[in-house]
Amino acid sequence: MRLMLHILEKDARRLSWQIAVTLVLLAALARMDAGRADFIPGSAEGWLTLLLPAAWGFLLALLVLEEPLAGDRQFWVTRPYRWSSLLAAKLVFAALFVHLPSLLADCTILAARSFSPLEYLPLLLRKQVYLAGALTLPTVALAALARNLAQLVPAAVVVAGAAVVLSRYVDPFSSPWVAVDEVRRGLALLTVAVAAVAVVVLQYARRRTIFSRTLAVAGLLIAAVLFACMPRNYTFALQGALSPVPVWSGSTSLHIAPRSEEPPSGLHHAFLPKKVVTVAIPIELSGIPGGVQARCEQLGLEIASPRGDLYRATASPYARPQGNSFQSSIFPPDRNPAWQIFRLDRSLYDRIKDERVKVAGKAGAAFYRAGEPLWLPVGSGAAAPGFGRCSSVLTEDPLGREMLKVVCESPSSIPLLTRVRLVETAAGTEWNQRLGDSMTNIHYPTRTWLSPLDRRQTFFHIIDTPDPSAGAGWLVSRAALPAARLAVFPEYAAGCTVLTYQMADLRLSDFVVKSAR
């Protein structure tokens, strides 16, 4: 213990100005986060969200290189240093000057936004575990494999750049209304963290640099393969195994719904190539109790023709339908009934359009229990227990058009596309939007992964004259605002499950969607 404290005191003294820089950056970021009541951060906050982790990483790298582990010319090996005391001193330093300030900043932000830090302490501690797995452990492991900064910096740039490229490859169209595969990220992060722990312990205990570098490369490759190649149906099944499965999920089924209306023409987007054909089959989810809503996600689908030919949907929803490949999805994912969507290359469609085909699909269903509506007058705020706080304000977009902005924030995750309704009680008119249903084009970093708050927002556009075509839409007459009230419909996660379903004796030509051109 005495040796560990001595090393800790020495590191804190030698790295004092680097510690001060990180604390100043953290204080500035926390101040901006605590004062922000908007989904999108300002440019300074956006860049600080990138700069602060880089500063922490540099600090941790310098910390480890105070006693380099790679090579055979270190001065400290001639001293009576026990490896366990040396490693403990480095870990305590990281806890005192990275994780503890981060935790205190998170508590300050929550208190400034009228949340109790003690109530959400488990979530705050979980965030520190993620920070350790994503930043602290990998940085310490990389620094333990380098002789000096000249070796470390290029390796860190390569690893970080590869992570960014891989993330863009797996999720090229990230947006607020697209669900994030947290299980995929968690598995990759867990693999990196386990490999980092093994490297750090091995280096400090034995200083076997060549073997440790091989282990680090293997861990990074395994994490990359898991992140890039693991099928979504596997990660969703694992998510279902880790979350409570509702007792009634065994009776839930997905099947063809009675066809009461024509498919919306907008399902066939104008930007789709002319040789792509869109097919929409009405489907319905049954067996869920009242007060529960489901969001369905396509996990896999195949079409079997009477001749024995089998066609499988592409694994990526962004892949262009070509040849025998096609896209499949469930739209809208949170409505019941909904539509089973196929987008096929015309050559494939012409081949099977009049055949009696069989469709076998697999869908992930995430269930949410509906809470009581949270009502708030225009221009005010309110809180819902267990959900968070919501507020509204009149503002303008970059073109000077007036809008009513609704923002909700919570230390917990806000369910994707939570419903928001603006109601004019006297006339019985309502306008519907969803939290996170739009995104502004910003030319600076907007991901605020260091923030302890999850924020989502939506807009109602204000117009001077009533628009008869905007019923249940997003264009609101200015005259309706004084008597209007907002309602946010909280949702609480109730588990998830994987559904398998079949639809036989279908003729695709009966369900073709007319082009919107």
Residue 227 has pLDDT above 80, yes or no: yes
Angle, to 10 degrees, between the axis of helix 137-144 and the axis of helix 149-170? 140
Residue 107: the pLDDT is: 97
For the residues 10-28, what does the mean pLDDT come to?
Answer: 95
Q: How far apart are CA 322 and CA 223, in angstroms?
A: 31
Helices and strands in the chain, H and E counts:
12, 17
Compute the chain's Rg from CA coordinates: 27
Which of 45-54, 232-241, 319-328, 498-507 is predicted with the least confidence, judged by mean pLDDT? 319-328
pTM above 0.85, yes or no: yes
Residue 484: the pLDDT is: 87
| Share of residues in the chain with pLDDT > 70 (%) | 91
| Share of residues in the chain with pLDDT > 90 (%) | 39
Which of 266, 421, 418, 264 lies closest to 338 in space, CA to CA?
264
Which of 146-150, 158-162, 290-294, 309-313 is predicted with the least confidence, judged by mean pLDDT? 290-294
Residue 423 has pLDDT above 70, yes or no: yes
Which of 144-158, 163-177, 503-517 is predicted with the least confidence, judged by mean pLDDT? 163-177
Residue 96 has pLDDT above 90, yes or no: yes
Torsion sign over Cα 293, 297, 300, 301: positive
Q: Are 240 and 496 in contact (CB under 8 A)?
A: yes
Residue 213: the pLDDT is: 93
H helices of 132-181, in order, are 137-144, 149-170
Q: How far apart are CA 195 and CA 216, in angstroms?
A: 6
For the residues 96-115, what does the mean pLDDT come to?
Answer: 96
The gap from C-alpha 252 to its chain's centroid, in whole angstroms, comes to: 27
For the residues 33-60, what does the mean pLDDT come to?
Answer: 91
What does the mean pLDDT of the chain come to? Answer: 86
Residues facing 238 on adjacent strands: none
For the residues 80-91, what does the mean pLDDT come to?
Answer: 88
Residues facing 508 on adjacent strands: none
Q: Look up residue 412 and give its two tokens.
A: 């917990």
For the residues 432-438, what does the mean pLDDT come to?
Answer: 85
The CB density around residue 234, as the number of other CB atoms within 10 Å, is 15
Q: pLDDT class for 229, splitting at 50, 70, 90?
A: confident
